């Protein structure tokens, strides 16, 4: 029998209805999709949630803010008051030693008007989940935050179990899954910045300088050699503790930080220049890797960061006490998630 005759006989046998042909056909139709499902599900994380990174110096109130968004305020003066005072701390907090993650949800129906107090389940609102990640503010532990910003893909790996509340429900993230960084909140103590005898301003500005420089370099890398620029990460400088009489208003916090960042930029560029001269090289201040913002500028302004597609906004608020509260910060998150 020739090859053609053999193929013809095999084709006729496969098209002839029989228990064997039907069984093989059903096995192929049913098993292949199931096999492909297991292959792709094993290679792909179960869930990829957007995330917001909460960073700042120690004592600024990061853990208290995370707890406030997670559990809500402990006491209100009047539920009808749009900005009720929080008469006691939202929870007992302590200086963080490791990153902490909570899963929250923000309304997508009205992100401009929703607050963290809204029970999304009770109102029937459409919600979008996200991760809020609190990082240690101690200088020796800031690597946890800066490491998240060094990668052009700006993905992070939640390290701790998510906590949930009735109004902010969700599932625990896989400890090995990655999350897309969507925004960054840099929390500062507005009352401490007003104390000229302390080093709070210089410490906060040094940390903020490193954060903004990491975001700037990330944009300059253009996604690791790709022609497509990585997604921008907007920054909110949250001036906390405005309930205190000595706290600086948001406008002064902005000007103080910009002035200090300009001083740091000049000091670092001089250090780079001196280092280049010592090595027998000519290193321009604007060409050094430590130069933040627009090239050749004298005074620093947050507006310069828009050249690198990094939006920086300063908003005041407070976690505890009688004041503007944290609603502006929550709305800022909702608009960017």
SS3 per-residue string spanning 73-102 = CCCCCCCCCCCCCECCCCCCCCCCCCCEEE
Tokens of 156: 């992070």
Structural domain boundaries in the chain: 1-43, 49-272+282-336
Tell me the fold of 49-272+282-336. Rossmann fold (3.40.50)
pLDDT score, position 163:
43
pLDDT score, position 283:
40
Distance CA 73, CA 54 (A): 19
Q: Which residues of 125-151 are buried (b: 16+ CB within 10 A; e: fewer)?
A: bebebbbbbbbbbeeebbebbeebbee
pLDDT value at 330 more than 70: yes
Per-residue pLDDT reduced to its tens digit, 80-134:
555 555 544 455 555 556 778 899 988 877 656 667 877 776 666 778 889 999 8
pLDDT score, position 107:
83
Per-residue pLDDT reduced to its tens digit, 59-83:
899 999 999 998 877 654 555 555 5
pLDDT value at 316 more than 60: yes
DSSP for residue 139: G
Q: Which stretch of 37-41, 79-83, 110-114, 161-165 has the lowest confidence by average pLDDT? A: 161-165
pLDDT score, position 317:
95
Tokens of 118: 């809204």
């Amino acid at each position: 029998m020739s090859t053609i005759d053999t193929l013809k006989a095999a084709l006729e046998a496969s098209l002839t209805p029989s228990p064997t042909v039907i069984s093989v056909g059903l096995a192929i139709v049913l098993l292949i999709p199931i096999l492909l499902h297991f292959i792709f599900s094993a290679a792909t994380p179960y869930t990829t949630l957007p995330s917001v990174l909460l960073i700042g110096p120690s004592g600024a109130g990061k853990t208290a803010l995370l707890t406030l968004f997670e559990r809500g305020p402990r006491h209100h003066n009047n539920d009808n008051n749009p900005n009720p005072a929080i008469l006691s701390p939202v929870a007992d907090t302590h200086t963080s030693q490791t990153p902490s993650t909570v899963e929250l949800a923000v309304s997508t129906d009205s992100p401009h008007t929703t607050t963290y107090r809204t029970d999304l389940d009770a109102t029937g609102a459409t919600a979008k989940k996200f991760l809020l990640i609190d990082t240690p503010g101690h200088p020796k532990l800031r690597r946890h935050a800066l490491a998240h910003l060094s990668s052009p893909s700006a993905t992070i790996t939640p390290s701790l179990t998510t906590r949930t509340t009735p109004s902010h429900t969700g599932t625990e993230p896989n400890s090995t899954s990655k999350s897309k960084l969507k925004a960054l909140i840099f929390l500062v103590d507005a009352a401490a910045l007003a104390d000229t005898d302390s080093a709070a301003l210089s410490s906060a500005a040094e940390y903020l300088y490193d954060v903004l420089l990491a975001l700037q370099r990330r944009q300059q890398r253009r996604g690791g050699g790709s022609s497509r620029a990585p997604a921008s990460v907007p920054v909110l400088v949250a001036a906390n503790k405005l309930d205190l009489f000595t706290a600086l208003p948001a406008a002064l916090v902005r000007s103080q930080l910009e002035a200090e960042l300009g001083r740091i930029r000049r000091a670092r560029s001089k250090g780079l220049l001196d280092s280049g001269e010592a090595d027998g090289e000519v290193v321009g201040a604007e060409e050094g890797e430590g130069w933040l913002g627009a090239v050749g500028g004298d005074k620093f302004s947050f507006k310069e960061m828009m050249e690198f597609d990094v939006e920086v906004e300063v908003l005041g608020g407070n976690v505890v006490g009688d004041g503007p509260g944290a609603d502006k910060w929550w709305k800022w998150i909702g608009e960017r998630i």
